[in-house]
Structure 1
């Protein structure tokens, strides 16, 4: 016995012992991995997702107009707000079809289908690309809940959520949540909403043909939309039916009959009679537990008239590359929304019809000017008889070119009254007024008026704010003009029920991408101490004769009853606006393109005004509105149309204008600075700001003698010229010369005579130095100083450049 034990000890192999230790170590690794896997798979049970956690919050809402007429039923808007039904109310044929198409082994695997994953990987390796996916219904539901991009990290999150769903919900609960969130094309979600919208039947009544067609859509909702891609959808339906045959749900004959069966689709309007943009927008404002029927403030006959007119006007403007429009009509007394048109045709998907032009952010052009002038008048920055200079003007912008505002006509009117500057929408006077008021002060006023999307700094907008450098919505514009129509008394816009206010509108894009970061603004209420300036601006906007220079007396803006109106056109003719009101209604119209493509020189008067005109005439067919109230607390006096002062015999035109009572003493006592008496003669003497404008005028402004003046160069100008360039010439130009004067014009440069002639221009070959230019005709003398510097001339560019101090 001892001998055998001795032999065993002696013949034992140490290599075998090492091998045994290696197996033991490997076993430990596998055991460790197993424990880790079990631990990870156990974690979802610590944080399960239960059916009660993902209940969809809102159901269908049936909308009516103010008189109870039906507008339509909004069944679905997104995966959270749709018609949710239990599995018992879904056709068994649809259940079979969706499982066959999306997850054949749904009832036989957990959150993941390992067999499908292996198959997908093998197919991908063989084809060197992804051939088929391996997402289960549970994983698809997880993706719907997470709504994250398809990245590796998102895929891991999707798997984790799938495990949590499996841990907390039964197969029936997962399938029910999945069916009620299915993307079914456009903004339709869930089988019940899709069944009602496409076929007009509840999901419980779907036939095999209808069920297999609907089950085909979720594979690619955009490219398989039955209204736009029916042929592609039929191909996918064939795939669904074949899978149902393979899985034994139906026979081949049943599948063939279902495929050939005609399935009539309902109208694209999805059961909506009118105001689709408004209904979908308002549905987002409803509380979670809203009544089944919602009465709105919409007037359905008016809404349908506006929708028809918008479509007709856009069709007439199509040759000018105009394709979209939006309209908002408000009741001035109540603030009720009477008509809301977001686009000419909501259901024209290929024409971006679902974009909402009422809520979209666009550049407002000149439509903000009335609020600038009202503020300037209220602050007494300007007076009603102030004369504003509509002349060439340049502003130095740090880090940018000189800013030179001008009108689309690229002409300048010279001295203009505030009334004419506003009514004719002149840009330079508006910019000059904003310069006096202050961009920050004006921006604060716009915030008070409800422009909540102007959230950038005053420096960001600059002086272009009054010309539309910011972005606002038609909704905000209509609300501000409603305040103007109500003499500065703000009133919230109402959308439903008896006096129920609309909630704050959600920010809408325009198809141009993100707008950048916006910081919230500090809201403050508008405080109106005196309605006089609001009434005065209304008086100016309703003055058809004041706007005649730009629009004519009998334009589309001139109605057969009192109406105040303002147009706007953004840069490059991308947006046109017409917003106006009577004592009864406020109507705001936008016309343009949702993709921001420029129109072919279509201004506000040509684009939006025709639609505004039709709506206003229709609103007042039965009864004309009352006239606007005259500005209270102001007095009317005659003023000189050129100078704004009390008229003298030299004034070429006299008009009536309102004045503040506290300015009457100044009006009576001050002399007319534009028409002073010099040596017993009345002369027209404009400030130096008008020099460049005067130089462009072919004749004098009036029969009064104009003061002799050098208008070019200006005193303090500096010129840089190329050295030894004989072709360069500098023009000296005068204003106020008398063609009947017996004496010639004498030109002197640094005291040395240049010439004597009757001409009011003289060309001089520039030379380096500091020069004093003097001109004399009879008893009149004027002189200015300027400087000329030389640089080495460039062979490719001749002439001189001008630098103004």
Structure 2
């Protein structure tokens, strides 16, 4: 009998174990067949500034936006208020609190209506993840989902789901979205009164919305505060202070800053929270400022601004258009990334690279004269030609002909390759080779690439890529030496003339340096600046590429750049930021050089025709470049003089050699009479003349004289037609009016031109041998 009972006991235990096993298998199968619907990527995104302020949000398919946070990113006051009001035993119960359910049932029966709920936070999260009708079946499903939550997730994970999915009225979900929208502040900085308000809102988000029903919201908040005092979660004194606070709401605004950057960063696979390096206050200030500029811009014209802190290369402000909602101005087009002609903005790189190559110093003599190379005839943006100019003058005034001369020596292919290797994008038409035209804008680039390139002048010659997000690594490549970058930056800041008293350990901060650019046809106006702390890039133009007559970098983009600079200086003063010093690199020296040879000579030397003080690099003082592809010796020809001081052949009696410094022959029309070759060289002795002369026949324009004042005939108010011809020089001639190519003649043909308005004109002519002639006259009416 005893054995039979024992046998039945073991058999009962076996059946019980089997039952438990079957239940476990059933629950496991149910969980596998009906898995917990955890949130998937619903494409809702929030883009944040560097301080966590929402810049822009991308809602999900239902129009809901949220700002996901972790528990530690929320004020402890809110967590305390939420748990005390909603679920005091959250960390103790298994997801379902039978005591809370029983208490709620008794209170509801006693009142004859629903006055309390027994749902735990876990049960509320279950309902958020899998909404159900308020029926018995729905309740059972909610319990099942609650058990699944507790099975698969930790308590902190469940609480985090609630923080990010709880409804707060309208299209807001999550405490962070509600905190920014209603209160205008981070959920981490919530005070007690604000925490209590947000803790109660999900109970009835529509009925308690503080922006629509502030009295109801305040009454509900006060109820929470009183319960927190009753439960001794918060001291009564702190609760009393919180009760005195009125429900204050910030102006209700959706995040609406840096939209084009947000769109750029919101790619497939992006996280729900997209962090950026943007300074929200600066971004808002510049967006307001650019909207104010809209009335100053021509119709359908847009603008773009980029501000970068060049030590870290963090982008502080990103404005891709004037207004993303302005369809008339193509506001949806991000002009920070748009490929456009960079105009003259590439010139500083060439001058710096030529410095490093030992081709020039800051006061090297260049030639601002008409130039012809194959079918390429560049002109100046400004009126006329200046003749002899220094490197610093040519760069600061952005003259075209001198930089083309320099590129011809340096090599356009080499220049393009080195910029590309450093990470500066240069886009040529398919199949096209780099040519001299690229230095004047005959290539494609974009604002982002140019600002990145100009970082070389702030980062000791290193080109660094822009960083839009804090997790991006700093990527940089060498392009220039620190000395070349420093010299060019000084020139662009209009500090091109060194002073003998300048010391290497000067604590003076770097002055603002900038370069403008204008693309062909006035399509794009550029200004890129380098200050002691920031890089500033500005573009203005029509996104569809339509020309805007009269729009150019100096007049259009520079005023905007200077206004941005003023904003940055004011902001730095407010934050007590002191600009860092800009000491002269040790490889940069100062030297007195002489034109036309471009090298050091004693001041008493007759070949020192014009003294200039130059920045030099590594002690190098290169000679003057000619129009060719190498240094030329014809600037200091060896001549033979007899005892009478006349020029003779080498074999003549009493001939003595002498070196005479001459200016490049193309500069003759711009030189004073005493500096021209005919004056610098001694007369020829007809008794023993040299075999080869140094002087060539001068190229002269016939038809008008320099200094003439011409008046239109009486009764003719529209135009004055003049006819010009050439004496001397070669057979082919190219004509320039105020630095702009206007025509061609050959074999003695006349050149006719009609002048339709009064003004001062400079007419220049160039032959195939590189000789030039020029006259300056005026027309009056």
- When normalised by structure 2's length, the TM-score is 0.51
1:638 alignment partner in structure 2: 592
CA contact (8 A) 1:302 1:338 kept: yes
For residues 628 and 592 of structure 1, the distance between their equivalents in structure 2, rounded to whole angstroms, comes to 34
CA contact (8 A) 1:478 1:586 kept: yes
CA contact (8 A) 2:333 2:543 kept: yes
CA contact (8 A) 2:305 2:320 kept: yes
Show CA shifts across 1:509-537 (max 9, x none).
Answer: xxxxxxxxxxxxxxxx8445842222222
After superposition, the Cα gap between the structure-2 partners of 1:500 and 1:533, relative to the gap in structure 1 and judged at 3 Å, is: closer
CA contact (8 A) 1:372 1:442 kept: yes
Q: What secondary structure is seen at the aligned counterpart in 2 of 1:356?
A: coil
For residues 802 and 485 of structure 1, the distance between their equivalents in structure 2, rounded to whole angstroms, comes to 40
For residues 384 and 202 of structure 1, the distance between their equivalents in structure 2, rounded to whole angstroms, comes to 61
Following superposition, the deviation at residue 64 of structure 1 comes to: 1.7
After superposition, the Cα gap between the structure-2 partners of 1:314 and 1:433, relative to the gap in structure 1 and judged at 3 Å, is: farther
1:567 alignment partner in structure 2: 516
Return the match for 1:326 from 300, 304, 311.
304
* Aligned positions of 1:65-214 closer than 5 A: 65-75=49-59, 201=171
Q: What secondary structure is seen at the aligned counterpart in 2 of 1:72?
A: strand
Q: What secondary structure is seen at the aligned counterpart in 1 of 2:463?
A: coil
* Aligned positions of 1:555-634 closer than 5 A: 562-621=511-570, 622=573, 623=577, 625-634=579-588
For residues 305 and 804 of structure 1, the distance between their equivalents in structure 2, rounded to whole angstroms, comes to 55
For residues 461 and 565 of structure 2, the distance between their equivalents in structure 1, rounded to whole angstroms, comes to 22
Return the match for 1:387 from 361, 365, 368.
365
Is residue 538 from structure 1 mapped to residue 489 from structure 2 by the alignment?
Answer: yes
Following superposition, the deviation at residue 479 of structure 1 comes to: 0.8
For residues 638 and 373 of structure 1, the distance between their equivalents in structure 2, rounded to whole angstroms, comes to 20
CA contact (8 A) 2:371 2:377 kept: yes
Q: What secondary structure is seen at the aligned counterpart in 2 of 1:382?
A: coil
2:16 alignment partner in structure 1: none
Q: What secondary structure is seen at the aligned counterpart in 2 of 1:357?
A: coil
1:14 alignment partner in structure 2: none
Is residue 283 from structure 1 mapped to residue 234 from structure 2 by the alignment?
Answer: no
For residues 581 and 509 of structure 2, the distance between their equivalents in structure 1, rounded to whole angstroms, comes to 11
Following superposition, the deviation at residue 462 of structure 1 comes to: 1.2
* Aligned positions of 1:389-788 closer than 5 A: 389-396=367-374, 402-452=375-425, 454-456=427-429, 459-499=432-472, 526-527=477-478, 530-544=481-495, 562-621=511-570, 622=573, 623=577, 625-640=579-594, 643-646=597-600, 648-649=603-604, 654-663=611-620, 679=645, 685-690=662-667, 694-695=668-669, 706=680, 731=702
For residues 316 and 371 of structure 2, the distance between their equivalents in structure 1, rounded to whole angstroms, comes to 43
Q: What secondary structure is seen at the aligned counterpart in 2 of 1:608?
A: helix
Show CA shifts across 1:655-699 (max 9, x none).
Answer: 3212234536989xx999579998499987312232xxx336787
For residues 701 and 387 of structure 2, the distance between their equivalents in structure 1, rounded to whole angstroms, comes to 25
2:335 alignment partner in structure 1: 357
After superposition, the Cα gap between the structure-2 partners of 1:765 and 1:460, relative to the gap in structure 1 and judged at 3 Å, is: closer
Across the aligned residues of Structure 1 and Structure 2, the Cα RMSD in angstroms comes to 4.7
After superposition, the Cα gap between the structure-2 partners of 1:700 and 1:427, relative to the gap in structure 1 and judged at 3 Å, is: farther
Show CA shifts across 1:621-662 (max 9, x none).
Answer: 214523433133132112236653335356565332122345
1:372 alignment partner in structure 2: 350
For residues 384 and 545 of structure 1, the distance between their equivalents in structure 2, rounded to whole angstroms, comes to 8
After superposition, the Cα gap between the structure-2 partners of 1:763 and 1:406, relative to the gap in structure 1 and judged at 3 Å, is: closer
Q: What secondary structure is seen at the aligned counterpart in 2 of 1:620?
A: helix
- When normalised by structure 1's length, the TM-score is 0.49
For residues 483 and 664 of structure 2, the distance between their equivalents in structure 1, rounded to whole angstroms, comes to 31
For residues 425 and 733 of structure 1, the distance between their equivalents in structure 2, rounded to whole angstroms, comes to 29
Following superposition, the deviation at residue 597 of structure 1 comes to: 2.3
Is residue 307 from structure 1 mapped to residue 287 from structure 2 by the alignment?
Answer: yes
CA contact (8 A) 1:443 1:458 kept: no
For residues 531 and 662 of structure 1, the distance between their equivalents in structure 2, rounded to whole angstroms, comes to 15
For residues 443 and 359 of structure 1, the distance between their equivalents in structure 2, rounded to whole angstroms, comes to 20
1:297 alignment partner in structure 2: 277
Q: What secondary structure is seen at the aligned counterpart in 2 of 1:494?
A: coil
CA contact (8 A) 2:662 2:677 kept: no
1:337 alignment partner in structure 2: 315
Following superposition, the deviation at residue 541 of structure 1 comes to: 1.7
After superposition, the Cα gap between the structure-2 partners of 1:561 and 1:733, relative to the gap in structure 1 and judged at 3 Å, is: same
Count of residues paired in the alignment:
456
For residues 478 and 764 of structure 1, the distance between their equivalents in structure 2, rounded to whole angstroms, comes to 46
For residues 295 and 432 of structure 1, the distance between their equivalents in structure 2, rounded to whole angstroms, comes to 47
After superposition, the Cα gap between the structure-2 partners of 1:348 and 1:701, relative to the gap in structure 1 and judged at 3 Å, is: farther
For residues 478 and 273 of structure 1, the distance between their equivalents in structure 2, rounded to whole angstroms, comes to 25
Following superposition, the deviation at residue 594 of structure 1 comes to: 1.3
Following superposition, the deviation at residue 491 of structure 1 comes to: 2.6
After superposition, the Cα gap between the structure-2 partners of 1:327 and 1:634, relative to the gap in structure 1 and judged at 3 Å, is: same
Q: What secondary structure is seen at the aligned counterpart in 1 of 2:306?
A: strand
For residues 481 and 515 of structure 2, the distance between their equivalents in structure 1, rounded to whole angstroms, comes to 23
* Aligned positions of 1:48-67 closer than 5 A: 59-67=43-51
CA contact (8 A) 2:361 2:614 kept: no
Structure 1 unaligned residues grouped into runs of 5+: 1-54, 86-198, 204-268, 397-401, 503-524, 548-558, 715-728, 736-761, 770-787, 794-800
Following superposition, the deviation at residue 439 of structure 1 comes to: 1.3
